[in-house]
Chains A and B, each alone.
Chain A
Amino acid sequence: MHYSAGDTAWVLVSAALVLFMTPGLAFFYAGMVRSKNVLGMLMQNFATIAVVSLIWVFGAYSLAFGPDWGGAGLIGTLHFFGLAHSSQPVPGYTGAIAQHIPPLAFVVFQMTFAVITPALITGSTADRLRFGPFIVFVALWSVLVYAPIAHWSFDPHGWLYRMGAEDFAGGTVVEINAGAAGLAIAAVVGRRRGWPRSPMPPHNVPLALLGAGILWFGWFGFNAGSALGANTLAAHAFINTNTAGAAGLLGWIAMEKLRGGKSTTLGAASGAVAGLVAITPSCGFVDAVGAGVIGLAAGAICSVAVSAKFRMRLDDSLDVGGVHLVGGVIGMVLIGLFGTAATGGVNGLLYGGGLPLLGHQAVAILACGAYSFGATWVIAKVLDRLVGLRMTPEDELEGMDTALHAESAYDFGGSFLRSLGGGGFRPAE
């Protein structure tokens, strides 16, 4: 088998870029929680990297991209469990879409997607999940929810892929999936105590901006890397990604201004993320105009959508539904309008392609959204019954950092008095 050195290098580098997004996400989220829950949020995200990295190698990758089980396009088999048969080409990729990279490069690239998707969910349940049960949730969810949906949309043998639904880098698999799952688990574990009456403002907006910047940077690997080669398609995806992120930023802060408020820095960061979310499925299928419109629409619409949780009385704490579900749907739907064969895929409605693509996109959105919400709700409900997902009221009031992890994120107040020996100290043994 001949592999392209350029393609392989780009995919490996992209894998590293995408892995870096999860710490970026961790800080994006950690900046938005209160100062007593910073380490709890960071810990969930870092632990997700570890848990999914192992689950992926031992099972989930094979279920997502292994030989199709029964030919229905629903799930793969365990043929590649533990990276067995890793010299064999990934089964779905033949003919015009044959890969020119070692299968292991594809394994690790896709692994980073499997990592960040459950990490995204942590935003919806911020400040209130027990740590151990969270780990179990991530492991089960990766196998039962992520792997099947990845098979449907990403694997060329998957039923949505074969039907003709277009999802370049994870509008369904990552964004809609995480958004719907986030709403489901937030519904199961319930609202934070005091929400929405008690104020729970972000404790460190600069940290959130730093995280958003890391996400933007890593997103180039996410989207342009999904071309699986160092080629023109990757370049299209790259520039479209940046265009949509920029348009999303402006869309969000313009909307804030139009609605009578001020343009906020957290709004700018959120708008960029919303634009990047929406361009994720579409970056390899649209042109510059499409990317601009998609980003702008996502920024503007998501800035309004994040308020829906107050009417729904659903404490999706950091707006995983409002940004990732809504942004993912916007991106998927607009492929149906702005898709152009000049970039990749087939023409959408505005480019003379008619309605079929729009129909395929709608089926993909509904199928992935419904399965993710339903399956996540069941997993969370069962776990909650068996072991309890939620922290005790005392621990929630105290905060995750000291209650769950015996650490605090910041030592500004009282540190001088503490240095005088007032609190006692025992050296490590």
Chain B
Amino acid sequence: MKNFVKSWLSKRSIEFKVNLSILTCIFLCFLGLMYIVSKKSEPIIKDQIDTIAQKSIEMYATDFAHLITDAERIIITTKNTLTQISKDNTKTLNMVLSSALQTVYHSELTFTNGWVYVFPPEDVSRGKLYLATDTGDDDIIDFKTEKITNFYDRFPWFKQVPKEEIIYWSEPYQDVESGETVVTCLMPFKFLGQKEFTGLVALTVNVSEMQRNSLKGSSFYGNGRLLLISKSGLYVTHPDPNIALQMTIFQLSRRMNLPQLGIVGKNLAAGQSGQAEIPYSSVVDGPAIFFYAPIKNIKWGFCLVYAKDELLKPIRQFKWVLGLSLLLSVLLLFLFTERIGHHSVSQLNTLCNVAEKYGKGDFSENFDEMPTSSDINRLATAISEMRSDILEYVNKEREEASEKQKGESELEIARHIQKSALSNKYPKSEAFDIATMMIPAKQVAGDFYDFFFIDDNKFAVVIADVSGKGIPASLYMMKAITLIKNISRSKMSLDQVFDHVNKQLCEGNDACMFVTAFMAVIDLLTGKTKYVNAGHTPPLVANNGEKKFLDVETNIVLGVKEDATFVEEEIDLEPGAHLLLYTDGVTEAENIATKFYGNKRLMKVFDSAGTNAANNLSLVLKDIKKFVKNNPQSDDITMLDFVFKGYEPGTIIMPANVERLKDFLMYLKDDMGKQGLSKKAVFNMVMIAEEAFANIAQYAYSIKDNATVTIKTRKEDGMYYVKFTDNGRRYNPLKNKMPDITLDLKQREIGGWGVLLLKKLADSASYKWLNKQNVLELGVKVKK
């Protein structure tokens, strides 16, 4: 999935990606912002609402309390007046009552009635009631006086009234006549000169009216519904008529199983304000929040009830507004960035189209009008400059190329000639190790080296340097290399070889080219080495613990003087000796200070040379490079290292060639004759040695060039052994399948006799694969 998105994205245009990333960023920012705002704002708004609601209810309670205070003040004033008159002064009594009610008229209270009850101290239930009732018409009060026989029937709650000079508020009740909810506030008093309470002064006020009046000055948040709860927890007002004046908050709490309601009731009774969340309220028909506050002096309480949903409505509205504005902003931004992106990219696209044409080699188009955007303008300027640079360069190149091409192809040909002329197959032999190295200079010179067998045990090494450079030098080199190789095979002495080569190189040498050359022929069996020189730098030789430049007769170079003569010289190489042949490209390698590498340095590095020819050459090369450093190479560097190892006694080396079979067998017969083997033993050994040699020549070598087999003979403990060692393919002739000799002639296969003969005629035969060489040893008993 991740990969899919990746690959999908990689295929979109920059424009798309830029727009996508900007929009994503902005969207995420907004989303984050919205999250924070909605998370943080909700409690703030809720707090705000709570505070407003709480304040409303408290204010309302306070206003109501003021009305209560007004009513109480009227009662107290009236009582104070009554305590100053005598019991029987009924005239005054009516007047006092009337003036009290007049005060009510001027307050915000609405009274239903006001009365004074006078009773004998011994029997409260029998007395005289002075009743003043509101007629409904302005300022007209209806006075009535009646004898009461059972006061408690009329005012059952009176039983609870303490016999103290304090104001007592009855529980609210419904007025029989008006049907309004009323509450009576009364106070016991003593007439002048009396010791016991013999009177009551009371005022019945309209609660609903009080509630309405207290609402006038205050307002509360939203559609709150107001509940008035009396001291005992009775609902004074409630939308449900079955609850209003019928049921207390505690009863409802129990019935509805809403303990939260009970707590509200208790807190109100204790005079505390607060708020509560109620899971269900019949007032709002759902979850509700109650804000409540006590009405201090009468221990009543108010509840402001909100539907929870309604209270949170503004928060939801706020969230909606926020979300919509987010969407709108993103939409606007999208349009905006899309336009900007499209504009920038269209400029880029123009650049792309032009650059694409340039890439295809069409430089005809240039910018008609430079892009306005500063960075794109820079790019366009760069491309435009590039165009003119390329055009200039291409024209210059075109001119140069045609000239250069000529020269280069010539160089290639010369290099090819030189490379193909050089031997690159190193003969494998235990008698010596050879390595060559040629690092051509930039311009092809005519250096060459060569190595080849002159006969079985004579190995020739040649190094030469043709004057001049290029194709002519290469062709002259070819001629020289071919002459030297061919003429040396005639088995003439080396001075004669060079004499012949010289004469033929002189022929038709109009260009006056010449060759310096050194050649040595090493007898691998004896180490006797013959050499001849034609004006070449003398090779380095390490022999017998001595290192020196070989003493050579310089002689004249080849190809110049037809009657020149050469001198063959000789040195005996001991096993471990080695020869380093090189051209002047080595000693005359130049560093930046135009100093030559020189003989001294070459001699010094030659000190650390070992028996591995290839290592020796890389050692020298490393030293040259260290000296020359970065200076360009001016001449070919050509080297040949020959390490002579020699043979153990009784060893011969034969080319692994079946044509040489008879030579080998004749040598073997001769050797066995000298060792005094019986005629039968000689016959058997010839038979099996032929088999071994033919096998090696035919099977072990796939490349016949320069392949050799080393043959070592020895006589030991009445046995004569011939050991064949070769570097060919791994091949064990003793493992060959034997033909079934019991079969009838007709069924016989034609081949496979060799292994049979080996097994039947040899007295011992062993094969080993040792150091990547096949080692086969055959033995016969000397006397047979």
- A and B assemble together: no
Q: Which residues of B contact A (CB under 8 A)?
A: none
> A interface vs B, CB < 8 Å?
none
